[in-house]
Amino acid sequence: MSITKSNFGKIGNNTDVELYTITNASGASVSIQTLGAGIQAINVPDRNGKNGDVVLGFDKPEYYTDPDLGYQGLVVGRFANRIRDAKFVVDGVEYHTPNNQGTWTLHGGGRFSFTVWEVEETTDCSVTLSKFSPDMEDGFPGNFTMKVKYTLTEENTLRIEYSVLSDKKTVANPTNHAYFNLSADPQKTIEDHLLKINADHFTETDDSQLTTGVLSALKGTMLDFSEMHRIGDHIDEPFRAVIDGKGYDNNYCLRNKPGEFAEAAVLYDEESGRKLTVWTDLPGIQLYCGGWLAKEGNPGKANGKVTYRRGVALETQFYPDSVNHTDEFPFLYVEPNQEFKTVTEFRFTAE
């Protein structure tokens, strides 16, 4: 195993963005940027042993700071996904967060994704980054520090360990917003990828894709991926929880018990043989297929433009807007001076 550091470029305020690339003995690698503690590249072999980059993204850091380009590979915090009406209550106190999309908060307002993190530690196989957020920044309570440790194994697993400390009771819902295309082919969308999600229920949403607090059965709906099938098989079928033309952007309620580390989803590209298995100890996973991205004109790396349905995000998380549904949804507050931890693994194999 080895790790190398290079300069990735600068963002608008002339701040340097560094890139840390971890490579294992077989030549698989992951590149982590200090901007948004983000995944910039993952190179893993196909069934013939040929490495290919299986995440979308950009060759210049400034593109990552544009929210219209979809938070490619970035860590999302303090609270991923949506917060209805940009507000929530903790112990009787109401807090107001940025309404950066419509009337709601999306991805905590974006600060954690679009700023440079500190590098705390590196080893031959890992890099640990941290981000401090002062009390009431973006409306969230607590002097708050999030750390994210990325470890690449010899078995081509990328392990992501999140830890949070706060001096006040607060909320946290960290995730990584990588978009996967296991073909590594710039001409292919993800509609031919096969997908399985280990869930029997989803969170109902309204016309703005905000959760209502109701959990509904997946069986018999176009959202059902309990048996592996092509993402494109039903993506355009009309359904109450899907916006016409956008396709999947939905939270699945995983079968694992609270805190249990278990398989959440399997993504497979038949032509290359590459398979991604997602494991997590969180209760939900957001399936998003890039339906809000432009159909043309966006930049991208050599493995393709960051455009409509070119990648699939599998975001491990607490359910969207859990802060406003603590009675209906599984959720844990961050208690004062008690470390909150969660782990997700992306396991890559080839068949």
Active site residues: 177, 315
What contacts 106, CB < 8 A, 6 or more positions away?
81, 82, 100
**How many Å apart are CA 31 and CA 49, to the nearest integer?**
19
* Cα 29 off chain centre by: 19
Secondary structure (DSSP) of 263-312: EEEEEE-TTT-EEEEEEESSSEEEEE--TTS-SSS--EETTEE--TTS-E
**How many Å apart are CA 292 and CA 308, to the nearest integer?**
7
- Using CA atoms of 326, 327, 329, 332 in order, give the dihedral in degrees to the nearest 10: 40
3-state secondary structure of 135: coil
With b for 16 or more beta-carbon neighbours within 10 A and e for fewer, the 208-234 pattern comes to ebbbeeebeebeeebbbbeeeeebeeb
Integer angstrom CA distances of residue 56 from 64, 188, 208, 240? 11, 12, 26, 29
Q: What's the one-letter identity of residue 283?
A: P
Q: How is residue 29 written in tokens?
A: 């690698």
**How many Å apart are CA 267 and CA 275, to the nearest integer?**
6
With b for 16 or more beta-carbon neighbours within 10 A and e for fewer, the 99-123 pattern comes to ebeeebbbbbbbbbbbbbbebeebe
* DSSP code of residue 244: T
Q: Are 279 and 261 in contact (CB under 8 A)?
A: yes
